[in-house]
Amino acid sequence: MAGEMKIFSGSANPELAKKICKMLSIPLGKATSFTFSEGNIYVKLKENVRRKEVFFIQSGLTPVNDLLMETLFFIDAFKRSSAASVTVVLPFFPYTKGDKKDEPRVSIRAKVVSEIIEAIGANRLLTMDLQPPQIQGFFRIPVDNLYAMPVFHEYIKGLNLKEIVVVAPDFGAAKMANTFAQQLNAPVALGSKKRHGYRDTVEITDIIGDVNGKNVVIIDDMVISGSTLVGISDLLKHRGAQKIYACVTHAYLTDDFIAKLEQSQIDQLIITDTLPINSTRKHDKITQLSVAYLLSEAISSIYNGDPLSKLFSRVEWVG
């Protein structure tokens, strides 16, 4: 690309943006964003982006609607300021649970989000562990879906665990767990659960596979309430599991979840920094790994017109 690279951050996760900029050896772009007393959001760029290749980083979960509107306003500001291109970096993509019409008279919310991001002028989307990955098909612009698996794999390998079993807490995580297990040369076990209503209330009904006397690594894309992780860890311990580790890409940590984690059978929860951690919610059981390297490599490849295949070479997907 001919234009200079510029990286800006939304208000959700500026620390992640700073890590990415440090790895790319460029300063974080200057901009401001605030909310008026009536709730309106205001954004303004504080430097020139004319003919620049802009990468806008926004990675957070709450307040989801405010963050989404802030993202849209920034995209509009970049386009109106004559940026050559705008790549939206959303490591955590909002409204992924609304990916289909699974009952009458409901909105396909993820489709709506994809359409407005595209309509406002984004040229490309960069995300991570999009679940379900078919959401990529909602876009007509290029979408790059990175995987946090290499980060988890390196960490787990460093623990030098013996007798490992990788566990998918539900059928949705089965493919991810199967691939992760292949990287570790370990067997897979599969959990089965029932979800009650629209709330984050689940019941773990069974585990398919032998975990007796094994060190277990649970792999999942996201945790919010923690009901699934806590429920399956209880059942795993009842089935004879030894140490229980949980690797989760997107972790929304609440006070309620921290209380559940404290009392749970989970020995260590390993998460990434796609979502920020409040300082009051840090815990001895929680280890946070950074995906800044993966994102910085992807941004560099996109900017230079290089293939992103090197970021996927360590992840050989299996069915």
Question: What is the set of active-site residues?
Answer: 193
Burial readout 47-65 (b: 16 or more C-beta within 10 A, e: otherwise): eebeebbbbbbbbbbeeee
**What is d(CA 21, CA 86) in angstroms, rounded to the nearest whole number?**
16
CA pair distance 307, 310, nearest whole angstrom: 7
Q: CA 141 to CA 148: how far, in whole Å?
A: 23
Pairwise CA distance, residues 147 & 127, whole Å: 9
CA distance to 10, 83, 144, 185, per residue, from 188 (Å) = 39, 47, 28, 10
Q: At 290, which amino acid appears? A: S
CB 120 within 8 A of CB 75: yes
Give the total residue count for the chain. Answer: 319
